[in-house]
Structure 1
Amino acid sequence: MYPNISAFDKSNEKESLNNIQSNKRFSIVSIRLAVPGFKQEHLTIHENQVVVHLSSTRKTSACPYCGRRTKHVHSYYFRHIQGSESFNMSTVLLVKARRFRCKHCVRTFSESLPGIAPRYGRKTQEVLDRITSVSLKTTSRIASYLLGLQHISCSASTCLRSIDRNLPTSHATAIGIDDAAKKKGHTYMSVVVDQHSHQTIALLDCRSGKELDNYLLENQQIQFVTRDGSATYADAISRCLPGAIQISDKFHLIKKMLDMLADEFSELLRSFWGTKKTYSFPTVQECKTEIMKDFWNLGEKDIGRNFNFL
């Protein structure tokens, strides 16, 4: 239990632990949240969940309709706000909120919770920022799983909506546009990435249409666009950004070239051997493999090691 500790140190440590346990000041541990404008009633732990009961100390609240302040309370209700984890357990802020009645415009409204959550929000601002930060760095499903390990309940759809609401504003002149799976194998959308900062700057719900055209028309500062071999993106970029330079990425460029060379190579072999041979002709995949080997060795043999492909 006490590795590499002498018998004298063991006895002294046991005595100090006994003194702490016998001291009344250490018998109760109190945790208080410092939230301006709110007071903590009490704290409970139920089924691996920390529940903090809060209530507002403000006497009045501003009416969102007419802007005047009122102190007439209409009713009470409880709001469940999800907070960041505490002691490896999920945290819920149970706020006793009030509904006020404005005597000027004779309307009822719920008080805001500044410092805890935005209006109509069910998560604290700290949790919302963490969801956005994790979702920007990985896929929505993985982000949902990683946030679950942090005791933050968040679905993959919520991660996507968080990115869409909190994407950083960018005036990038070089972008990359590609497909992104919203529901893999069924629904796809478009993702736009800043080529300099490598950050996602836009998520479009479609691969073509008015939303893609409107985004390109609103960002006329774009000079370079990296895309795949899709004709949909090529037409949209040519139509909305006629002065931009389109760059086809290396993967699709080599793949398309291999597909064409493999078919030509197979036809060449069949025409060269007019009579039927006892062995079978190479398959298309075998042709691609052999062409790929010669293709990558071409730079070292003939052109040099500094030969780069687009």
Structure 2
Amino acid sequence: MGTENRTCLTEFILLGLSSDQHTQVLLFGLFLVVYLLTVLGNLLIMVLLQLDSRLHTPMYFFLKNLSFVDLCFSTVIVPQMLFHLLAKKKAISFTRCSMQLAFFLLVGCTESSLLAVMSYDRYIAICKPLHYPTLMTQRICVQLVLGSWACGALVSVVDSTFTLHLPYMDQNVINHYFCEPPALLKLASEETYNAELAIFAMGVLILLGPVSLILFSYWNVISTVMGMKSREGRLKVFSTCGPHLIVVVLIYGSTIYTYMQPNTKKKNKWDKMVSVFYSVITSMLNPFIYSLRNKDVKEAFKKVFGR
């Protein structure tokens, strides 16, 4: 019965962020600039870290992978959103919606795991510097990145399966600008308890787990830094950790709000506003916060592109 219902529904209609035509044009311009900055920033980081041999270290290896994930993450969502902001009919086929949902979960959850890996890397480098060469070998770094993708794949398969297995018969209008599980669950024709439970369980694994590791790592980093005699060293670490924690709050705070609260059939205008932070904004901010403010990356830029 569920399979028959799903095949009857061929497309969804995405309401987007606004129904006002002038507002849509303004949003198109804004998000086009954001997307271009995201693509250029992340491509620049990937090129610089690849070309400069001095940056072939574990930390920059993780940063390069983060840039790749951010580039994929933004591309899964923003181009379609830009098209729908100018299109009269904001339709997306069931197949395309399913693919967008699966890939969004894959790269988004991979990023969540990767941020935790990066915080662990900084914890080892600052709190256990003598053990860093043995704990962060090239092989271990590759395994950590592959493990991040494996976690992303697991969550994507589970959340996608439970969400898309539900029947969607009567309603096909999604009060959102892209396909993600909480928005689709509001349209399901049957009880969504099992799907919500599965998504919550995956949220504990891919959201609460990484954010706990990140907070633990930064707490130990800050405690270690406070014991430093060098005032300049303390300021350098704090100037780095501060922006990182801002990104962590933006990503995990907005995602936890969306994925770990009880789902209701009521339309909440704040849901899609909050999702802008983790689906669009942070992919643009990450290159500037994690890489382009870094002295080594600035020197690599001058070396590659000249003064």
- TM-score, scaled to structure 1: 0.20
Structure that is richer in helix per residue: 2
Compare the two structures and name the one with the higher strand fraction.
1
Q: Which has the higher contact order (CA 8 A, sep 6+)?
A: 2
